[in-house]
Amino acid sequence: MATTSSKASANRMAKIKALFGCMFVPYLVAAVGVGWQAVTVPALGELEQVDLRGKTVIITGSTSGLGQAQAEVMAAWNASLVLPVRDMKKGKALQERLQQENPSAPPPVVMEMDLASLESVRAFADQYTGPVDVLVHNAAVLGTGELIRTQDGFEECSQVNYLSPFLLTSLLLPRLEQSEEARIVHVSAKAHERMPQIFRPGSVLGPFAWQEFRRRKVLDLEFPKRQMRMLGNLGGSYADSKLAQVLFSQALARRLPANVVTHSLHPAIVQPTAQHGRNVNSSTCCLFGAYLISQCIL
C-alpha cells in the first residue's frame, strides 16, 4: 500500500515538473531570441538633431513611457508640442520639466483629453484651434482580458486604442491637410499578427479574407475566448485594436492628399508596469521606439 502511494506521489510530482517545464519553454525561447538580437543587431547610436521649430506636434500618452520619450525628443528638436493628457497633474509636471530642459524651445501646451470618452476627444479638438503638422497616436491600454465598457458603451481597448484615435484623426484632418508636410503616426504593436489567418497567403496585410475574419470573430466581444494562456489579452481585444489601427492607416493612406503621410509601426517590445495602464518601464525600448517614431515624422 505504501509502495503504491509513493508511486502515485512520484507520478504526480513528475507531471507537475513536466507541466512547469513546458510553461517555461516560451520564456526560454524568448530570452534566447532577445539575447541573440542584442549580440547581432548594431547599436542605433545617437539621434541626429533636427530643428523642427515652426512644426506643431501632438502626442497622446506623453506622461510616461514611450510617449514621454518621444515628447522629450520633440522638445529637444524645438517642436511646438501639444500634449493631450488624462492626468493634468502629470501633464503639468512634464510641461515644467520640458521647459526647464529646453529653454529655447517653444513652451509645450498641455490640455486634458481622455481617450475613453468620445466627448472628451471632441472637446479637445474644439478647444485646440491651432495648426497640426504631426499627430502621434501613442496612448494605448492593454486591458485585463475581461470585457470592460467605456462610458460610451464600447469595449475599452477598441475605443482607447482605435475608435478615439480614429475620431481624433478625423477631427484634425482639415488642419493636417493645411500643413506643407503633415504626418500621422499610429503606434501599433506586433500583437496585431495574432490574427494572421485573416490575410490570404502571399499578401502583405491584404487582400482580406473576410470569411475568415468573421469566422474568427475578430473585433467582437467574445475576445476572452481567443486569448492565449501565456499572453493574456495580447491575443484578445488588444490584438484586435492594434490590427484595426494598422488597417485604418492603410485605408487612410489611399485617401490622403500628397502632403499628408500616414505610418503605422511596432515600436519595441516593452513591459507594462500596470496590466490596466499605459506605462512602460524600459528606457532602452522607449528610446528605440522614439527613434522609430522620429524617422516617421521626418
Grid coordinates belonging to 199: 490575410
Query: Of 46, 230, 237, which is closest to residue 150 (Cα–Cα)?
Result: 237
3-state secondary structure of 33: helix
Contact (CB, 8 A) for 209 and 200: yes
Residues 6+ apart with CB under 8 A from 273: 279, 280, 281
Return the active site residues. 238
| Residue 15: its H or E element | helix 2-40
Angle CA(208)–CA(209)–CA(213) in degrees, nearest 5? 100
